[in-house]
Amino acid sequence: MFAYIIRRLWQIVPTMLGVILLIFFLFNVVGGDPAYLLAGKISNPEQIANIRKQLGIDEPYYIQLWIFFKQVVTFNFGQSWSTNEYVSSIFATRLPASLMIGIPLLILETIIAIGIALSVAYVRGSLTDRSVMVGCTIAQSISILVYIIVFQYVLAYKFGWFPVQGWGNGFFENLFKYSALPVLIALVVSLAPNIRLYRTFLLDEMNQDYVRTARAKGLTERRVMLLHVLRNASIPIITNLMIQLPGLLVGLFLIERFFSIPGIGREVILSVERSDFPVIKAITVYVALATMLANLAADLLYKAVDPRVELK
């Protein structure tokens, strides 16, 4: 397994080189000249030339690419063009807020979605099963904006159970007070698709021969569902979870914006509005790297869950 991990980590290198080239091409060649955007409508050629020199975008493309490559390798993307704050400082101060929403959300939605999916798969075809599926379909049809507005108005403004928006300084204050309603909204939004997806995975396994054999041996239905069906359905479930992991890095854009949470997702929106390329490029690189590491973690979890899986 150690050799497999080394090979996979080594494969990340050429992939990251491709990501670096793609990001550089999109931002420096296709994205246009940021000096015009930062100079504003009322500007002159001297101001634009001065801005280009300050940003270092007056250099030839190969020099700019080398600078960007060194930034990726050293994880030092310099300063924000809009606020002059170091990009590393932006990540250090904004990431905890995003993780404080993303991690509890991922844990809760996984446990609840698997539990409900197991329950409805156990009584498949019944009125309960059909009612839950209809409810999930309706829930998926409603925009997240509707959930945010309704929950904010009813639970926060009318009943006063949660703060309408804002963020504190203490860990427990943020976790149990300010992030409670955002996590609840995101949980309601994410449960419906996950329940439907996990139910499908479980039903696929329940139709396999080994399940009928287990029942023929006299095992209880509960033991069959938990020991055999859930364990074999866990591989696609793990795949779905690992796909969601890189999203923890950027958080939930709308949630953070509506609740004034100083997270990475809100910072992405602000950076796009300001054409703050260093921040956007750094986030793009980090998300790409997190995706590759999540894929590696998924492969290792496959082996842990099912020893029959061979890592090659």
Q: Model confidence over 234-291: pLDDT tens digits?
A: 888 888 888 887 777 666 778 888 888 888 888 888 888 777 888 888 888 888 888 8
Q: Which domain holds residue 61?
A: 2-74
Nearest to 98 by CA among 296, 289, 287: 287
pLDDT band at 309 (very low <50, low <70, confident <90, very high): low
- Assess whether 41 and 144 both reside in one domain: no
Is residue 42's pLDDT more than 60? no
Is residue 1's pLDDT more than 80? no
Considering the chain, what is the average pLDDT of its residues?
Answer: 82
Range 143-146, long-range pairs (CB < 8 A, 24+ positions): 144/185, 144/189, 144/254, 145/254
The DSSP symbol for 32 reads -
- Assess whether 66 and 168 both reside in one domain: no
Task: Output the six-digit token pair for 172.
Answer: 């427990």
Q: What is the pLDDT of residue 112?
A: 93
Residue 203: Cβ within 10 Å count: 16
pLDDT band at 43 (very low <50, low <70, confident <90, very high): low
Residue 14: Cβ within 10 Å count: 9
Is residue 41's pLDDT more than 60? no
Q: What is the mean pLDDT of residues 150-164?
A: 87
- Assess whether 119 and 26 both reside in one domain: no
- Assess whether 110 and 43 both reside in one domain: no
- Assess whether 214 and 145 both reside in one domain: yes
- Assess whether 55 and 106 both reside in one domain: no
- Assess whether 192 and 238 both reside in one domain: yes
| Domains identified in the chain, total number | 2
**Residue 165 region, left (φ>0) first, then alpha (ψ -120 to 50), else beta?**
beta
Percentage of the chain lying above the pLDDT 70 cut: 88
- Assess whether 104 and 252 both reside in one domain: yes
**How far is residue 164's CA from residue 178's CA, in Å, rounded to a whole number?**
9
Alpha helices, H only, 29-163? 34-39, 45-55, 61-74, 87-122, 127-141, 144-151
**How far is residue 212's CA from residue 231's CA, in Å, rounded to a whole number?**
16
Residue 139's alpha-carbon distances to 192, 214, 239, in angstroms, are 6, 36, 23
Higher-pLDDT residue of 159, 61: 159
**How far is residue 145's CA from residue 202's CA, in Å, rounded to a whole number?**
31
Is residue 311's pLDDT more than 70? no
- Assess whether 69 and 137 both reside in one domain: no
Task: Output the six-digit token pair for 266.
Answer: 């809100």
Q: What is the pLDDT of residue 40?
A: 61
Q: What is the pLDDT of residue 95?
A: 85
**How far is residue 226's CA from residue 219's CA, in Å, rounded to a whole number?**
11
Tell me, yes or no, whether 288 lies in a domain.
no
Tell me, yes or no, whether 294 lies in a domain.
no
Q: What is the pLDDT of residue 38?
A: 64
Q: Please report, for the domain that includes residue 159, its CATH number.
A: 1.10.3720
Percentage of the chain lying above the pLDDT 90 cut: 2
**What element of type H or E holds 210?**
helix 209-216
Q: Residue for token digits 């499908």? A: 200
Q: Which of 74, 107, 137 is the last residue of a domain?
A: 74
Kindly report the pTM of this predicted structure: 0.81
Q: What is the pLDDT of residue 249?
A: 66
Do residues 215 and 133 lie in contact, with contact meaning Cβ atoms separated by under 8 Å?
Answer: no
Q: What is the mean pLDDT of residues 171-196?
A: 87
Tell me, yes or no, whether 306 lies in a domain.
no
- Assess whether 133 and 69 both reside in one domain: no
Least confident of 13-27, 53-67, 124-138: 53-67
Query: pLDDT tens digits, residue range 47-91?
Result: 667 767 766 666 777 888 888 888 888 888 888 877 888 888 888
- Assess whether 6 and 105 both reside in one domain: no
